[in-house]
Amino acid sequence: MGIEFSQNQWDKVKETYRLWWEGRLDRPIISVVLRGNESGRAKPSVPLLSQETCTDLSIPASEIIDRIDYELSQNVYLGDSFPYFNMDCFGPGVVAAFLGARLDNSTGRVWFHPEEVLPITELHFEYDSDNVWLNRIKEIYYEGMKRWQGQVLMGMTDLGGVLDILSTFRPGENLLLDLYDYPDQVKRLTWELHQLWFRFYNELNDILQPVNPGYSDWSQIYSDKPSYILQCDFSYMIGPEMFDEFCKPELEASCKRLDRSFYHLDGAGQLAHLDSILDIDELDGIQWIPGDGKPPQSQWPEVYEKISKAGRKTQVLEGLDGLDKIIAHIGTGKGIHHPTIVAHISQEAEIRRRLVEYGIE
C-alpha cells in the first residue's frame, strides 16, 4: 500500500489555505502527522535523505524518492496536514554551495565554507550549470515529480538569505567590517546574489511545476502561488540603521517578486528590526523564533500582538498548549499557522478531540 492521501483531501487542504491566505479563515492552521501506519511495504535499504546523508551521490535519485515514499506511507494525515517532504536536506543557505562553497556535513549537519576568502573587491558570483549540488537537487525533484504525480508536495530547498549567503564567503568579522569599509561592494554583491537567488528559485520551480501540488519550503506553509520564507540571520549583529541600508532593500525587493512571503525572525537580536520589517507592505507574515536559551514563543505576547495588529500572519512552533496561550494573548487564532506536530497513531483519538476544539474536523 502506498501513501494514503486522496485528491479530495488535497482539494480540502488547498481550499483551507486559500481562505487562510485571504484572511477569511477564523481558526489557526494546524497540521498533525501520526506515525505508525502499517503500509505493508518492506523498508528500503538506502538511508533517508538528510543533512547527514546528502553527500552520498552513489544512491540513485529514484531510490532516494522510493525511501521517502516509504516514510510517507507510514503516516496518517490529520488536521490541515498533507504529504510533504522538506528539502532542507542540503543545508541552510545551499545557494552558497551552488556558487562554489564547500558543503561539509562531517558533523551530521551541513555547513558551508569558502574554498578561499577573497578580498571583497575581488569577489564575484556566477551561475554554474554544472554545479554538482544544484544538479543533484534537480535530479531528485525530477524523480519525485515522476513518482508522485502531484500526490506529494516537495518543498523548495533551503536557499538561504542573501546576506547570510554572502557571509559564507566573507566569514567571521569580515562582512561586518565590509559594511563600514566597503559599503558599495556589499551592495554590489547583495544585488548579484539577489538575481542569482531568483534564478535558482525559478529554475527549481520549473521542474516542480505544474506537477507539484503547490509551493512550500522548510516552514511547511502551503501556497497555491509562488512563496518563500525569507531571512537575514546576519542582521542580529547590526543595528536598525544598517539593517535599513543593507538588508531591507533586498528583502523588500524579494517580497515584491514573490506572490507570498514570510520572514524568519530568528533571535531576540532581530526584534530591533521588527517595526522596519512590518513596514514592508508586500510581506505576508512573520515566523518568530526566540533563540536558544530564551523563553518559549508563548512568553513573548508583545511580539505576537505587534505582528497581529500589523495585519500579518504568524507561525507558532510550540505545540497545542503553547498555541492556546498565544491565542489567549492576542484574542484570535486567525492568521496563525502551526507546522506539523508528529505523534504516534495510538494517540489518534485524543488528537482528533483536540483538533475539534479548534473547529478542525
In this prediction, residue 250 carries a pLDDT of: 99
The answer to whether the beta carbons of residues 83 and 65 sit under 8 Å apart is no
In this prediction, residue 1 carries a pLDDT of: 63
Q: Which residues pair with 266 in a beta bridge?
A: 289
The answer to whether the beta carbons of residues 323 and 338 sit under 8 Å apart is yes
In this prediction, residue 309 carries a pLDDT of: 97
- N residues, the chain: 361
Q: How far apart are CA 339 and CA 151, in angstroms?
A: 19
Least Cα distance to 197 among 97, 279, 95 occurs for: 95
In this prediction, residue 312 carries a pLDDT of: 98
* pTM assigned to the model: 0.97
In this prediction, residue 39 carries a pLDDT of: 82
Q: Give me Rg for the CA atoms of the chain.
A: 21
- Put residue 340 in one of left, alpha, beta given phi > 0 → left and psi -120 to 50 → alpha: beta
Q: Output the nine-digit C-alpha cell for 13.
A: 487542504
Q: Alpha helix (H) ranges present in the chain?
A: 7-21, 61-73, 95-98, 132-148, 162-169, 174-181, 183-208, 240-242, 248-257, 274-278, 301-309, 319-330, 348-357
Q: Which residues pair with 343 in a beta bridge?
A: 34
The answer to whether the beta carbons of residues 255 and 261 sit under 8 Å apart is yes
pLDDT in tens, the chain (361 residues): 689 999 999 999 999 999 999 999 999 999 999 999 988 889 999 999 999 999 999 999 999 999 999 999 999 999 999 999 999 999 999 999 999 999 999 999 999 999 999 999 999 999 999 999 999 999 999 999 999 999 999 999 999 999 999 999 999 999 999 999 999 999 999 999 999 999 999 999 999 999 999 999 999 999 999 999 999 999 999 999 999 999 999 999 999 999 999 999 999 999 999 999 999 999 999 999 999 999 999 999 999 999 999 999 999 999 999 999 999 999 999 999 999 999 999 999 999 999 999 999 8
In this prediction, residue 330 carries a pLDDT of: 95
**Exposure pattern of 258-273 as b/e (b: 16+ CB <10 Å)?**
bebbbbbbbebebbeb
In this prediction, residue 38 carries a pLDDT of: 86
DSSP codes of every residue in 211-266: TSSSB--TT---BSS-EEEEE-GGGGGS-HHHIIIIIHHHHHHHHHHSSEEEEEEE
In this prediction, residue 161 carries a pLDDT of: 99
**H or E element in which residue 288 lies:** strand 285-289
In this prediction, residue 40 carries a pLDDT of: 86
